Chain A
């Protein structure tokens, strides 16, 4: 589904990614961990198409297509979803209206007619329930005045609405209390199917108690220095990154 080869990317002339290789197949869950500044969020942003970053070398394909030849919205419509670390507020635009546009753009891409209003409302209700998001939130402006926890739930709610093939969740656990973390993580797990894949970027092992990864990658200094299974995350929690980094050096 996603193939990344020797990916280099920089921001304002500073190289952040220095040769990433990663394969994600349908049905898999990958966790990317690593210390601050290692390039985790950059990787997610580059894949989503954030124009702040410049890809300087390497390639990436999504569903067999060169991802860098696709616009941000094209990647999204094809099924790539980024759960933002810092969800953006859009004053005056209601969640319902925002989602109506997003869902129908995707349907158009798939050659489907826009969803009838009644079906759309039912879908919103069902999907909001997955993350225990108050139905009333959908009539409020996007993320405006939402608490930290609500913003993160709202990201997963959008993921539930858009049913992506590949979800990149950028520190979805940061700023969440234990209960919200459980709700968000359970929501992600419930959305898992054999057809889709999830890449979870996180600092903490805690999230991985709920979202059980098939692979754990450690990103350091713009490269994946180690890949293992779930036990790697537990080991990191115990020993920290330093030891692993020293071993690799």
Chain B
């Protein structure tokens, strides 16, 4: 009898557990087995599951994949800080600044700052009953941590996540943990990059903890090649009067699946998500958001824009949940999309679950094409057809891109977006 997909991962875990857990304290490793059991219990989701309706994970994980090992990781490049195939580029690098800000390897931090890691690592990801998150928690061989202590303004921090396994069909687990303490602030830019995927599958989990009265901005660039499948699961928790702004720009991939879960757990917590995805050829981007108002007086805002060309598909499923005792909540969700070709496809599905009285909740979704009248208008002012088109596309995207305040990051974004759109 042939093995199920889940059994295959159980075997793979048995064979690699010792190597992937090397260097972590017992306290962290002892949880891995539990995570694997969670994975086995949930099973790799199929498309009958609402959350994974548009991306077939059983097909992705049903392929024969190999788990990237440390020789595919450490590179020893020096600055800037980042991960390569899930491993800290500089083995066990941990930068600790005078103000207490820690940036570096999750594995190293779990030894030197064991309690911080134990308090937060898997604190959200473990409770979500998501097989691919549990699988990541079982297998993650390292990861990146950004820790900002209470009342510290950390400024700009950048993290580079590179995926470049030379071996075909690599399965890479990578991990990012961002913690900003009470009254702290930081602007974190995260670049995910895979130039050549060779059938690679990336299973990445981000956990974000925004403390009371904190202000955290995380800008992400997803730049995956079209022979790479990436599953990015993000879990955020915002405490009372904390403010979390997440921004993402997704530039396609064979299949890119990004989840943004945000729990507002303290009064006056604010969670915002500004997203843009651009797909061409036969690419697919599937964005799923879950915003959970768990206490009164939280506010959330989402603006996710999609631009689809070729025969690509873009999906936005946005769920807003307002708990029975989360009155006074304010939630807004917008999904705006443009298809550039007749074969491009956009699916947009807002889901609102409101169990409290006295809430303000609004949502809207649109899918359209470029405006021919606007193009005619620009041409009548001497601007050629293709520039007019480009200007209109840029106009559509600008408000999202402009939110990335880090100059270097945003110039990188512009370059990549331009070259992506040039190919349309």
Contact = CB atoms under 8 A, between A and B. Distances in A.
Q: Do A and B come from the same complex?
A: yes
Interface of A: 48-51, 71-73, 76-77, 81-82, 84, 87-93, 97-98, 101-102, 105-106, 109, 141, 158, 162
A89 B374 contact: yes
Contacts of B378: 90, 98, 101-102
Contacts, number: 77
14 contacts: A73-B379, A73-B383, A76-B382, A90-B377, A90-B395, A92-B394, A93-B391, A98-B391, A101-B381, A102-B378, A102-B381, A105-B381, A105-B383, A158-B381
Interface stretch (B63-71, B144-152, B232-240, B396-404): B396-404
B158 to A, nearest CB: 27
Nearest to B395: A92
Contacts of A102: 378, 381-383
A170 B211 CA distance: 59
Nearest to A144: B395
A162 B377 contact: no
Interface string B184-221: 00000000000000000000000000000000000000
A72 B376 contact: yes
B395 A93 contact: yes
B384 interface: yes
A50 B382 contact: no
Nearest to B400: A92
- Which one of A48, A72, A87, A89 has the greatest number of beta carbons of chain B within 10 Å? A72
Nearest to A93: B395
A79 B399 CA distance: 33
B395 A51 contact: no
Contacts of B398: 92
Contact of B380 (A76, A101, A109): A76
Contacts of B377: 84, 87-88, 90
A48 B378 CA distance: 12
A88 B373 contact: yes
A162 B382 CA distance: 9
Interface string B357-384: 0000000000000010110111111111
Contacts of B395: 90-93, 141
Interface residues of B, number: 22
Contacts of A162: 381-382
B128 interface: no
A89 B374 CA distance: 7
A164 to B, nearest CB: 10
Contacts of A81: 380
A89 to B, nearest CB: 7
Nearest to A86: B373
A51 B376 contact: yes
A84 B373 CA distance: 11
Contacts of B385: 73
B369 to A, nearest CB: 14
B341 interface: no
B402 to A, nearest CB: 10
Ranked 5 nearest A-B pairs via Cβ: A92-B395, A93-B395, A102-B381, A76-B382, A88-B377
Interface string B393-415: 01111110000000000000000
B60 interface: no
Given A50-B376, A87-B377, A77 B396 contact: no
Nearest to A87: B377
B7 to A, nearest CB: 51
Nearest to B381: A102
A98 B381 contact: yes
Contacts of B371: 88, 90
Nearest to B379: A72
Contacts of B387: 101, 105
A73 B377 CA distance: 10
Given A84-B377, A87-B377, A88-B377, A93 B394 contact: yes
A109 B382 CA distance: 9
A111 to B, nearest CB: 14
A97 B398 CA distance: 12
A22 to B, nearest CB: 20
Nearest to B399: A92
Contacts of A71: 379, 384
A158 B378 CA distance: 11
- Which one of B377, B380, B397, B399 has the greatest number of beta carbons of chain A within 10 Å? B380
A101 B379 CA distance: 11
Contacts of A97: 391
Given A73-B385, A97-B391, A98-B391, A90 B380 contact: no
Contacts of A91: 395-396
A48 B392 contact: no
- Which one of B373, B379, B394, B396 has the greatest number of beta carbons of chain A within 10 Å? B379
A192 B332 CA distance: 51
B392 A90 contact: yes
Contacts of B391: 90, 93, 97-98, 101
B189 to A, nearest CB: 23
A96 B392 CA distance: 14
B384 A73 contact: yes
A93 B381 CA distance: 14
Given A73-B384, A73-B385, A101-B387, A93 B379 contact: no
Contacts of B384: 71, 73, 105
A93 B382 contact: no
- Which one of B376, B382, B387, B395 has the greatest number of beta carbons of chain A within 10 Å? B382
Contacts of A98: 378, 381, 383, 391
B244 to A, nearest CB: 25
B380 A93 contact: no
Nearest to A141: B395
Contacts of B376: 50-51, 72, 88
Nearest to A106: B382
A82 B380 contact: yes
A87 B377 CA distance: 8
